[in-house]
Chain A
């Protein structure tokens, strides 16, 4: 079963960007996060390759979501949260005081665990980001952006006749794809996904996973997941977190077939977690 998965994965990996050198989009060095008195994350070093899917796995409370939220500074809004170390996005230190957090977040988008469309129409949901950042000068340009984003998120054919219905009227899986379209609309380089399928049924999950491998051609994806099968199916690189430490990172195939660390092996074989 696992080898079968691997074969499929290797095939998929071979397709899109063969020959292009893997450049690190994010370079994380010695990252630590403290919530008040609690050390949530400690000494994380990780390179995130461009145009790849990086999966973050590990038991609940191990710090993988915290790590993800460090990458677009969503932790800033949590009171008592302090971040140490360095996170570089294409050489840019994103914790530099001179960095405009709003601009950073247009480059690094995010999709959340529970689908959270705005209580507005489908169109307005997707158009919100381009509107506040002035990405479209004319209504027709905005229409184009909305259509392109919905097409990329694989939702266009389902909603093109009811763009002005409420976004919350869609099914759970459609809502999550709407959120992906909304994130795509501001043309980010990286999309962070925090357990995007945990609230969805298996069919909707399969659709999102298929979408991930398509999105990989244009975006760098980082996905937190509790499902190791999902990590194996969609990712090229996997990082295993445990108790606030990044235990191991490597090619997904290697992590699942031949982990170096005993804790990783115990986790993926289901001995704990």
Chain B
């Protein structure tokens, strides 16, 4: 009876509700759709970025070599015959390479032609020959077939024409003008290829070597180690300092005007442009404390300054999210305030603090502007071995290569970007794993 009357009344109401609910459903659909659309757009942009970077970077990971018969004649390398390391090191290895190439192309007789021919082989090949001879002095007096690294132009030519001479005919000589080779050189390279003297191998040197003016020799190793050292300094400074400051402010400091002022200052510092921290570092770390210029130590200190505000804010938020009931429980058991923090609050807040640290470190990893001021934007060929040696970092290396005129640096730039991204991913992965390890539910 009552049910009947209820349903009768309800059907009337249900109609009225329907137009409203339809409108509501449409709004909801639009909202959800635009959210999904934004996600798809972002993913597409990311995919595009990755495809373009990987596509550009791929040629870097292998290199072309040419096999040349080298006569290790004693009169060039070791006129005295003493086979001393010092005299061997001073030998004329350039001449060896020249002679080797001249044997392959006896028809090239004039001086400028020889020079053009010699330019096909990398300068690094000469240094490598010396290293090998110093390792194996027995080679002197022998003739051997040696793999020599090609110059960046020759390398680029083979990378753009991996098939053979027939593709050259279609393309015409003009399309290769931008590489920087003339028709003679291309003809020589093709003849080398026809003789089966050209080979390709993996370019592991890219990961080991430092920077170089010669694109075929330049590697990311120096910048990678520099980034690693700089970030180590940043982490070692900012994590204890930032964590400590956050713990003190959140757990122990009395709330008064002074701490309010500190809080406002920290929030403001987080928004200060990073180059200002670079200026501060120049003024304080280099001029007052006399830290070495261009060194990971100074760079790490500057980046730590820049990271600290973000870290303190994130750490305070993490501490604040630890429920008060945990503090009360420990206090009621007679734990001292320091014990409460060390045994309970800090371990519970640690995942959050780590997240904040990683966000800060990721920002520090990608930063170039503050390092500009302390001289880390410089051409550094050696891989840094300590915190006080000159170094550069990955983003700076990317900038330097992007700025270089040689075409082969385009691929290097993309490859360095890939390395930077991989570094970031590994760092974030580490943070996620650490967080998983420390995370506890309450």
Interface residues of A (CB under 8 A from B): 72, 74, 77, 79, 102-106, 109-110, 112, 114, 116-120, 128-129, 132-133, 166, 168, 179, 182-183, 186
Q: Which of A119, A128, A183 contacts B348 (CB 8 A)?
A: A119
Q: Which of A77, A109, A114, A120 contacts B333 (CB 8 A)?
A: A109
Chain B residues positioned under 8 Å from A102 (CB to CB): 334-336
Distance between Cα atoms of A102 and B327 in the complex (Å): 14
Q: Is the CB of A105 within 8 A of B343?
A: no
Distance between Cα atoms of A129 and B325 in the complex (Å): 16
Chain A proximity of B236: nearest CB distance (Å): 29
Q: Is the CB of B441 within 8 A of A105?
A: no
Q: Do most interface residues of chain B lie in helix, strand or loop, or is the interface mixed?
A: helix
Q: Is the CB of A116 within 8 A of B335?
A: no
Distance between Cα atoms of A116 and B334 in the complex (Å): 16
Interface residues of B in 254-268 (CB under 8 A from A): 254-255
Taking the complex as formed, is B331 at the interface, i.e. its CB lies under 8 A from any CB of chain A?
yes
Most chain A beta carbons < 10 A, residue from B327, B329, B343, B344 = B329
6 CB-based A-B contacts, threshold 8 Å: A72-B332, A74-B331, A102-B335, A128-B333, A133-B334, A182-B333
Chain B residues positioned under 8 Å from A179 (CB to CB): 329
Q: Is the CB of A74 within 8 A of B254?
A: no
Most chain A beta carbons < 10 A, residue from B254, B326, B328, B334 = B334
Q: Is the CB of A109 within 8 A of B255?
A: no
Q: Which of A105, A168, A186 contacts B442 (CB 8 A)?
A: A168
Taking the complex as formed, is B12 at the interface, i.e. its CB lies under 8 A from any CB of chain A?
no
Distance between Cα atoms of A129 and B330 in the complex (Å): 8
Chain B residues positioned under 8 Å from A110 (CB to CB): 328, 332
Chain B residues positioned under 8 Å from A182 (CB to CB): 329, 333
Q: Is the CB of B334 within 8 A of A168?
A: no
Q: Is the CB of A186 within 8 A of B326?
A: no
Distance between Cα atoms of A129 and B336 in the complex (Å): 11
Interface residues of B in 308-352 (CB under 8 A from A): 323, 325-336, 339, 343-344, 348
Given contact pairs A116-B325, A119-B441, A168-B442, A103 touches B334 in the complex (Cβ within 8 A): yes
Taking the complex as formed, is B440 at the interface, i.e. its CB lies under 8 A from any CB of chain A?
yes
Q: Is the CB of A116 within 8 A of B328?
A: yes
Q: Which of B328, B339, B440 contacts A132 (CB 8 A)?
A: B339
What residue of chain A has the Cβ atom nearest to residue B322's Cβ?
A: A119
Chain B residues positioned under 8 Å from A106 (CB to CB): 333-334
Chain A proximity of B117: nearest CB distance (Å): 73
Chain B residues positioned under 8 Å from A183 (CB to CB): 332-333
Q: Is the CB of A118 within 8 A of B254?
A: no
Q: Is the CB of A116 within 8 A of B339?
A: no
Q: Is the CB of B344 within 8 A of A105?
A: no
Q: Is the CB of B328 within 8 A of A112?
A: yes
Q: Is the CB of B343 within 8 A of A128?
A: yes
CB < 8 Å A-B pair total: 68
What residue of chain B has the Cβ atom nearest to residue A72's Cβ?
A: B332
Chain A residues positioned under 8 Å from B326 (CB to CB): 116, 118-119
Distance between Cα atoms of A21 and B339 in the complex (Å): 39
Distance between Cα atoms of A122 and B254 in the complex (Å): 34
Q: Is the CB of B332 within 8 A of A74?
A: yes
Chain B residues positioned under 8 Å from A120 (CB to CB): 440
Q: Is the CB of B331 within 8 A of A129?
A: no
Q: Is the CB of B333 within 8 A of A105?
A: yes
Given contact pairs A118-B326, A179-B329, A129 touches B334 in the complex (Cβ within 8 A): yes
What residue of chain A has the Cβ atom nearest to residue B332's Cβ?
A: A110
Given contact pairs A79-B255, A132-B343, A118 touches B336 in the complex (Cβ within 8 A): no
Chain A proximity of B339: nearest CB distance (Å): 6
Please report the total number of B residues contacting A with Cβ < 8 Å: 22
What residue of chain B has the Cβ atom nearest to residue A114's Cβ?
A: B325
Chain A proximity of B365: nearest CB distance (Å): 32
Chain B proximity of A142: nearest CB distance (Å): 15
Q: Is the CB of A105 within 8 A of B334?
A: yes
Q: Is the CB of B328 within 8 A of A118?
A: no
Chain A residues positioned under 8 Å from B332 (CB to CB): 72, 74, 105, 109-110, 112, 183
Chain A residues positioned under 8 Å from B325 (CB to CB): 112, 114, 116
Distance between Cα atoms of A124 and B328 in the complex (Å): 17
Distance between Cα atoms of A118 and B336 in the complex (Å): 16
Distance between Cα atoms of A77 and B325 in the complex (Å): 13
Interface residues of B in 229-260 (CB under 8 A from A): 254-255
Chain A residues positioned under 8 Å from B323 (CB to CB): 116
Chain B proximity of A182: nearest CB distance (Å): 7
Chain A residues positioned under 8 Å from B331 (CB to CB): 74, 77, 105
What residue of chain A has the Cβ atom nearest to residue B442's Cβ?
A: A119
Most chain A beta carbons < 10 A, residue from B328, B344, B441 = B328
Chain B residues positioned under 8 Å from A109 (CB to CB): 332-333
Most chain B beta carbons < 10 A, residue from A106, A117, A132, A186 = A132
Chain B residues positioned under 8 Å from A168 (CB to CB): 441-442
Besides the known contacts A112-B328, A132-B333, A183-B332, 15 further A-B residue pairs in the complex with CB atoms under 8 A apart? A77-B327, A102-B336, A105-B331, A106-B333, A106-B334, A112-B329, A117-B329, A120-B440, A128-B330, A132-B334, A133-B334, A168-B441, A179-B329, A183-B333, A186-B334
Q: Which of A74, A117, A129 contacts B328 (CB 8 A)?
A: A74
Distance between Cα atoms of A106 and B254 in the complex (Å): 26
Chain A residues positioned under 8 Å from B441 (CB to CB): 119, 166, 168
Chain A residues positioned under 8 Å from B330 (CB to CB): 118, 128
Distance between Cα atoms of A118 and B442 in the complex (Å): 7
Chain B proximity of A180: nearest CB distance (Å): 12
Distance between Cα atoms of A198 and B331 in the complex (Å): 22
What residue of chain A has the Cβ atom nearest to residue B336's Cβ?
A: A102
Distance between Cα atoms of A79 and B333 in the complex (Å): 20
Chain B proximity of A113: nearest CB distance (Å): 9
Chain B residues positioned under 8 Å from A117 (CB to CB): 329
Q: Is the CB of B329 within 8 A of A116?
A: yes
Q: Which of B254, B328, B348 contacts A79 (CB 8 A)?
A: B254
Q: Is the CB of A132 within 8 A of B335?
A: yes
Chain A residues positioned under 8 Å from B440 (CB to CB): 119-120, 166
Chain B residues positioned under 8 Å from A79 (CB to CB): 254-255
Distance between Cα atoms of A102 and B348 in the complex (Å): 22
Most chain B beta carbons < 10 A, residue from A74, A105, A109, A118 = A118
Q: Is the CB of A118 within 8 A of B334?
A: no
Chain B residues positioned under 8 Å from A129 (CB to CB): 333-334
Distance between Cα atoms of A77 and B329 in the complex (Å): 13
Distance between Cα atoms of A79 and B330 in the complex (Å): 18
Chain A residues positioned under 8 Å from B255 (CB to CB): 79
